[in-house]
Structure 1
Amino acid sequence: MSTLTYPEVGATRLGPLPRGYHHLHHRSAVGRGPADFAAAGAAITEWRMHRASGARVEASARRAEPGGDVRVSLGLGPLRFTAPCEVIWTAYEEGRTGFGYGTLAGHPERGEECFVVDLADDGTVWFTVLAFSRPASWYTRLAGPLVPAVQHWYARRLGRTLRRIVAAG
């Protein structure tokens, strides 16, 4: 287990999100009913959502488990940014599936992010990305307000990707 780069471990699960960070909250409907919920939960926790969105994922386990290491990288060729993380918590519950991971040394940001699906009482399957972060590298500090914009873009992309995975069955 590596050392996390921020002290507010678990805040994406229990809240509230800590002050002094940029907050991200994205929610989108990705399906309807128990079968879509199961498909979405598996796609999230088995890294398929991230991979299908264009990210490279190297994980120490087949599915998200607390203490597992994950390296997510985005970009093209030499312009690839790698984000080492550790899975902090998981939810494999009736009506709720997902996980949260926190940043490790070498990540361009400091903070935590979670990816969860919930099955609402009306049958809607909701996908949520919740995160708090702040720059940890010179280039994310230099990028300033571009970083939150890219994070929001990527969260929306994950929602669209998950919706396609669920629709494909």
Structure 2
Amino acid sequence: MRRSNFEDQPTDYAAVGATQAADLLQYPPDGYAPYEDSIKIGSGDERFAAASASVLSWEVLRLAGITVSDIERGSGDAYQAVRFAEDGTPLGRGTERTEDRFASDGTPYITSGTTAVLSGRVGSYSVRGHVRVVYVVEDPRRVAFAFGTVSGHSISGEESFAIEHRDDDSVWFTVRAFVRPVGVFYKVFPFLLLRRRKRLSSQYLRALSPAWASDVRE
């Protein structure tokens, strides 16, 4: 298992990593609206590996029409969760540095602490701002990462992208987020924030599954 977390993010929100919370939809960070959507994208080890590579190399964003530029890699220091004995006694934890890995086009895989600039349009919605990767998870049957907003966004919050290889051999892609308006436009028209969130998530899902259909209007 490889698991990494960046310890000191200058993100513009406090609940760093909250997209990992099982009860995010019921209890989002105060003032934030949560969102989650999933789609089955195939089955088998090869599909899981290919989808995981797409997520960890930013490809899923690029396929969704978003330009990822000015990538600055983070330290990639891996965090090993606390281990417990059978009686529940904590056994401690340690850290190790992950090796550099690259996608087939030479793009370095995402590591915790990596920063990037996102830009482009998805439907009628613009995307522009700095983000920082706040965690990366690589388990044998689940791969995920999340980034948080840093500056220049009309919204504040966190998005996560996860690939899961389930016990029935199916492979699922899940997008989760929690957001709140920062710009005046979304503060005045808050209902458009959720519509934007749905449109972006649908585009991400469609990036890994062209058959995905959405009735979300632009």
Please tell me the TM-score bracket, short chain as reference.
Answer: 0.7 to 0.9
Corresponding residue number in structure 2 for 1:81? 127
Q: Percent identity?
A: 29
Matches within 5 A, 1:20-169: 20-58=31-69, 59-61=71-73, 62-75=108-121, 80-164=126-210
SS, match of residue 155 in structure 1:
helix
Corresponding residue number in structure 2 for 1:13? 20
Distance 1:25 1:159 in 2: 11
Distance 1:140 1:70 in 2: 23
Distance 1:63 1:69 in 2: 12
Letter in 2 for 1:6: Y
Question: Any conservation in 1 of the 2:16–2:158 contact (CA below 8 Å)?
Answer: yes
Question: Any conservation in 1 of the 2:143–2:163 contact (CA below 8 Å)?
Answer: yes
Bigger-Rg structure (1/2) = 2
Q: Deviation at 1:104?
A: 0.5
SS, match of residue 54 in structure 2:
helix
Letter in 2 for 1:116: A
Distance 1:122 1:131 in 2: 26
Distance 2:41 2:115 in 1: 27
SS, match of residue 148 in structure 2:
strand
Letter in 2 for 1:142: V
Q: Which runs of 5+ in 2 are unaligned?
A: 1-7, 74-107, 211-218
Change (3 A) 1:109 1:15: farther
Question: Any conservation in 2 of the 1:86–1:101 contact (CA below 8 Å)?
Answer: yes
TM-score normalised by the chain length of structure 2 = 0.69
Q: Deviation at 1:140?
A: 2.5
Q: Deviation at 1:153?
A: 1.7
TM-score normalised by the chain length of structure 1 = 0.88
Letter in 2 for 1:105: S
Q: Which runs of 5+ in 1 are unaligned?
A: 165-169
Question: Any conservation in 1 of the 2:66–2:127 contact (CA below 8 Å)?
Answer: no
Instruction: Give 1 or 2: higher helix fraction.
Output: 1
The farther-off stretch of 12-21 and 119-128 is: 12-21
Q: How many residues align?
A: 162
Question: Any conservation in 2 of the 1:101–1:113 contact (CA below 8 Å)?
Answer: yes
What do the CA deviations read for 1:96-143 (whole angstroms, capped 9, x no partner)? 112011110212211111000100000111111111110112233234
